[in-house]
């Protein structure tokens, strides 16, 4: 099996083992030059001509196609823009329009809160009997009935890494007449996804986690191709209009996936993402997955053998996990701060989850071994029990 390891393509700070690429991917080395070029040679020299000359206006669709390749989406079905929270709103609103007789938005308690908040805000805004129902992820299929307009789930649980069966749940949703939305925030660039084969209507995700686009990189949205000409984009921005520069007073949705665009794209951030996506050239997702599973299995085995104070909080079956492993520990926050102080970066999710992401493009078995050494020292020698590690930062 060809290795997907390509550490030399990333800027990895000296002395750091980065197990948090599931939250914010590291800097690909191609990014600074590309961003500097965009700023100086394009914005600086071309000024407003850059929209046409440098192709800024086509970029959300062009990069959408590149991201689409990583999630099994056909050309012209993915576009970039906005933040994931906004794409959740847009996707759910569009889905509700497809099922006007139904009032339930179904999700699960493992979903990332912003997805639930956005759906709830939309339900309240519509003020027409809509309800967000949030159920147990392990039994979510049992809650899909004929009242459900849309099932909106995140495929990989951000805390535990638990993986939903995308194809099976989508089939059940469709059998009950519901629209299916998958949030791929922790899937895109992490595991093989065949979004077209799943037949879900909509998918959304972000590009600053496993896709390494940098903090604030734009989100993406996928629309199943047969729906592209009828879907109502809900966020009716001018750049999703059929003819933005006609400046019509009335909104008329654009052709194909273009209609899911909203406003001016973040061009500098797109330049960063475009350079970052080069690291995926020649990477087969099946190879990436095999290496991710091997690293996770090594990590779990070594932690369980050497650090009895930690309890596995992720599914034990690697086929039921995404690309992260979580352990619970009552003093998880302080412990993670102490681990970070030793150069191993993971993160903490309340109430007691220590979370570690595995990204085989730049993490190898030697990194995992070294990370376990540090975690073992922190837990087994109670190094976390120090006031300096107990002060909560704004971002955990
Ligand atoms: C990371 C993440 C988000 C973040 O949303 P932003 O609008 O990009 O801040 C949303 N949903 C899920 C499932 C996530 O994992």
**Domain locations along the chain:** 7-28+284-390, 55-280
User: Looking at residue 3, what is its pLDDT?
Assistant: 92
Residue 259 annotated among the catalytic residues of the structure: no
Quote the pLDDT of residue 217. 98
pTM of the model: 0.97
In the chain, how many H helices and how many E strands? Answer: 12, 15
Q: What is the pLDDT of residue 47?
A: 98
Q: How many CA atoms lie within 13 A of 370 on its CB side?
A: 15
224 is catalytic: no
CB of 193 sitting under 6 A from ligand 1: no
- Annotated active-site residue in 355, 356, 367, 389: 355
DSSP string, 210-252: TT---TTPPPEEEE-GGGTTT---SS--GGGBSSGGG--SS--
Residue 357's H or E segment, with its range, is: strand 353-357
State the pLDDT at residue 394.
85
* Rounded Cα gap, residues 192 and 186, in angstroms: 11
User: Would you identify the CATH topology of the domain 7-28+284-390?
Assistant: 3.90.1150
Q: Which of 25, 108, 111, 112 to mutate to test the pocket of ligand 1 (most atoms within 8 A of CB)?
A: 112
What's the confidence (pLDDT) of residue 395?
84
Tell me how far apart the alpha carbons of residues 8 and 341 are, in angstroms, rounded to a whole number: 24
Does residue 154 have its Cβ closer than 6 Å to ligand 1? Answer: yes
* Residue among 102, 162, 209, 224 flagged as catalytic: 209
Predicted local distance difference test score (pLDDT) of residue 1: 60
Task: Report which protein residue has its CA nearest ligand 1's atom 8.
Answer: 84
- In this structure, what DSSP letter does residue 331 have? T
What does the pLDDT look like over 199-241, one tens digit per residue? 999 999 999 999 999 999 999 999 999 999 999 999 999 999 9
Q: Is the beta carbon of 85 within 6 A of some atom in ligand 1? A: yes
CB atoms within 10 A of CB 1: 9
Best residue among 91, 107, 114, 189 to mutate for probing ligand 1's pocket (most ligand atoms within 8 Å of CB) is: 114
- Residue ranges for the chain with pLDDT beneath 70: 1
pLDDT for the residue numbered 285: 97
Q: Which of 21, 80, 85 to mutate to test the pocket of ligand 1 (most atoms within 8 A of CB)?
A: 85
| Annotation: CATH topology of 55-280 | 3.40.640
**Does the C-beta of 278 come closer than 6 Å to ligand 1?**
no
pLDDT value at position 210? 98
CA distances from 61 to 14, 53, 100, 220, 261 (A): 36, 16, 29, 10, 9
């Amino acid at each position: 099996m060809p290795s997907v390891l390509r550490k030399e393509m990333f800027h990895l700070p000296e002395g750091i083992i980065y197990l948090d690429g599931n939250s914010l991917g590291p800097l690909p080395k191609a990014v600074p030059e590309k961003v500097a070029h965009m700023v100086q040679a394009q914005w600086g020299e071309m000024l407003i001509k850059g929209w046409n000359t440098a192709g800024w206006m086509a970029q959300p669709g062009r990069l959408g196609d590149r991201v689409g390749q990583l999630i099994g989406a056909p050309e012209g079905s993915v576009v970039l823009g906005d933040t994931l929270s906004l794409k959740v709103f847009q996707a759910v609103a569009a889905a509700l329009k497809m099922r006007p007789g139904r009032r339930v938005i179904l999700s699960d308690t493992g979903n990332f809160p912003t997805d639930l908040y956005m759906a709830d805000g939309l339900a309240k805004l519509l003020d027409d009997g809509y309800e967000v129902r949030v159920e147990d992820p392990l039994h979510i299929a049992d809650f899909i009935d004929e009242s459900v307009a849309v099932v909106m789930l995140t495929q990989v649980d951000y805390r535990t890494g638990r993986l939903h069966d995308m194809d099976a749940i989508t089939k059940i949703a469709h059998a009950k007449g519901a629209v299916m939305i998958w949030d791929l925030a922790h899937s895109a660039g992490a595991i093989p996804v065949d979004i077209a084969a799943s037949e879900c209507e909509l998918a959304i995700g972000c590009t600053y986690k496993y896709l390494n686009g940098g903090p604030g990189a734009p989100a993406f949205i996928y629309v199943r191709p047969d729906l592209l000409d009828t879907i109502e984009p809900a966020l009716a921005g001018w750049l999703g209009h059929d003819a933005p520069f006609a400046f019509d007073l009335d909104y008329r949705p654009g052709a194909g996936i273009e209609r899911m665009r909203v406003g001016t794209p973040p061009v500098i951030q797109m330049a960063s993402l475009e350079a970052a996506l080069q690291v995926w050239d020649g990477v087969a997702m099946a190879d990436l997955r095999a290496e991710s599973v091997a690293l996770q299995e090594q990590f779990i085995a070594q932690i369980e053998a050497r650090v009895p104070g930690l309890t596995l909080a992720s599914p034990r079956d690697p086929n039921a996990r995404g690309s992260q492993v979580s352990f619970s520990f009552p003093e998880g926050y302080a412990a993670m701060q102490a681990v970070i102080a030793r150069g191993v970066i993971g993160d903490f999710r309340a109430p007691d989850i220590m979370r570690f992401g595995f990204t085989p493009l730049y993490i190898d078995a030697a990194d995992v071994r070294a990370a376990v050494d540090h975690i073992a020292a922190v837990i087994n020698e109670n190094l976390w029990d120090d006031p300096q590690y107990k002060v909560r930062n704004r971002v955990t």
